[in-house]
Chains A and B, each alone.
Chain A
Amino acid sequence: MAASPATATAAPVGPGALRRLIRHRSFLIGATLFTFVVAMALLADWIAPHPPNQSNFRYRFGEPNDIYWLGTDRSGRDVLSRVIYGSQVSLRIGLMVVIVTAFFGAIIGSIAGYFRALDDIIMRVMDGMMAFPGILLAIAIAAALGPSELNAVIALSIAYTPRTSRIVRASVLVVREMEYVEAARAIGAGHLRILLRHILPNSITPLIVQMTFIFALAILAEAVLSFIGVGPPPPTPTFGNIIADGRNYIQEAPWISLFPGIAIAMCVLGLNLLGDGLRDALDPRMKVER
């Protein structure tokens, strides 16, 4: 496989890292963008001007105006309100995927990295899973399980866990050779204790960085799943569903598809910038010259 080599370093997360973060320009821009979308999701009930599924059949395909800032769709539903509520669903799916992939990635990666006997088998299976383009694997699993929010989370988690596993494994491979691990073993600590207390906490940094990128990937992938009809079923608003609602009316009502796409771009751009900033701050050795 020709994946880019993971960073196998673990810088301590100290006050220095925090200072670097606050001074990091792209981190701040990313944080602002992402916070904006998160705030939109959290405050949906208060800021959305209309209920997301309320139809107004007298104003279908309505152009943006004073009442409907971003226009209305095929059944006269407010696009702005749907995007706001859609951010709730899309972010929730992204967050769940991040938590699940980080959890299983940490378990699988540390087992593979620590118990060398299992390494070959586990990593071959991961290689096999990574031989599918991630989105394709997710689509297939989601299609097999049926369209729902939970199934989208399961499908995306299965598709992206190999990535987190590889990252954790790479850093565990380095940390396990450290002297303090040897010292722990010498005083008779068991495997579980060594793994949980000594190895994992010191190999978590690359995983944290990767989590922001997986969050971004998951939001993009969720949109694809919804768009082709294997995500949360309509009328649930998700970014992908709203874009799909407008795809056949691109000529008459381009605003339906336009705005949810911009919301996705804000989320993903925000997360990518955040991730770049985190990587530079937590892992100065990886810093890309700028």
Chain B
Amino acid sequence: MFAFIVGRILAAIPVLVIVSLLTFVIIYFVPGDVASELAGPTATPDEIEQIRDRLGLNQPFVTRLVSWYGALLQGDLGHSFLLNQTVSHAILERLPVTLSVTAYALVIVLLIGMTTGIIAAVRANTWVDQGMMGIALIGLSLPDFWLGLVMIYVFAVVLGWMPTGGYVEFSESPLGWLRMTTMPALSLALTQVGLLARMTRSGMLEVLRQDYVRTARAKGLPGWMVVGKHALANVMVQVVTVVGVSVGILLGGQIVIESVFSLPGVGRLIVGAILRRDYPVIQGGLLLTATIFVVVNLIVDLLYAYFDPRIRYGR
């Protein structure tokens, strides 16, 4: 197991190198003159030149690349053009919001997605199954940010049960945090609930046909134990796969959802940076999100090996 873990971690390194390279290249090839935009319409050519010098925009590609990596290895993501803070500081300040809402959404996805998937599989081809899968497919097809707006209208404007947006820290008031994050987490989660429900169902159906499940039934185990213990253990590999993909989609979805619900997280930071062309922040936000995603997938790979010993010994 130890060798497997080390191998997986080493394999993640080239991916991270490519991720950081891509992040740099995307921003490097931005058309238009960043310096003159930053300086504003009234700036003299001299002032623009000064800004260009200060930001190192006059350096050739390789020099800029090397200094970007040099800074990166020291954990320095540069300085925001507009926020008067370092990028790492700006991001770290907002990261807890984004991570806590993503985790909340993930819990919803796992709870509702797996439960509906299992029920649908056990009741396969009944109206319960068809109804649940129909809803799952519709959920899968809704744009999450639109769902957020609809929820704001229904639960905040019409019913007045929830606030329209804002944020309270968990440490300050856990209940307030729940009030503020439940709608964003739900609207993020719903699409992924549909996906997981479908995958759990098809995985479960496959497992329920296996001989060992029949054996478990034959020796007189109650149905809930066959499904909940014997079958579920083998569906977990599929569940874990979906979760790996879902985390990426949830993180990507945060970018818009945070703006919809006025949550002060990394997503809103990135959107603001995009609209005001604050490139270091965009770069930092991108890199961080991708890194989290890579780490999550690493964990998923390790969980894989945990749930399916064949993977551990196979290689």
Contacts and interface: CB of A to CB of B under 8 A. Distances in A.
Instruction: Note whether A and B form a binding pair.
Output: yes
Nearest to A270: B141
A258 interface: yes
Interface string A220-237: 100110011110000000
Contacts of B30: 144-145
A261 B150 contact: yes
Interface stretch (B79-87, B106-114, B222-230, B290-298): B290-298
A220 B253 CA distance: 11
Contacts of A128: 14-15, 17-19, 21-22
Given A4-B245, A265-B138, A133 B293 contact: yes
Given A143-B282, A146-B31, A250-B157, A257 B146 contact: yes
Interface string B40-68: 00000000000000000000000000000
B300 interface: yes
A2 B19 contact: no
Interface string A139-153: 111011110000000
A144 B27 contact: yes
B149 interface: yes
Given A136-B290, A250-B153, A224 B249 contact: no
Nearest to A220: B143
Interface residues of B, number: 61
B205 A247 contact: no
A289 B124 contact: yes
A127 interface: yes
B304 A2 contact: yes
Interface residues of A, number: 49
Interface of B: 14-19, 21-23, 26-27, 29-32, 124-125, 137-138, 140-143, 145-147, 149-150, 152-153, 157, 202, 205, 240-242, 244-245, 248-249, 251-253, 255-256, 259-260, 270-271, 274-275, 282, 286, 289-290, 293-294, 297, 300-301, 304
Interface of A: 1-4, 124-125, 127-129, 131-136, 139-141, 143-146, 216, 220, 223-224, 227-230, 243, 246-247, 250-251, 254, 257-258, 260-261, 264-265, 268-269, 272-273, 288-290
Nearest 10 CB-CB pairs, A to B? A128-B18, A133-B252, A261-B146, A2-B244, A269-B141, A135-B252, A268-B141, A133-B248, A143-B274, A2-B300
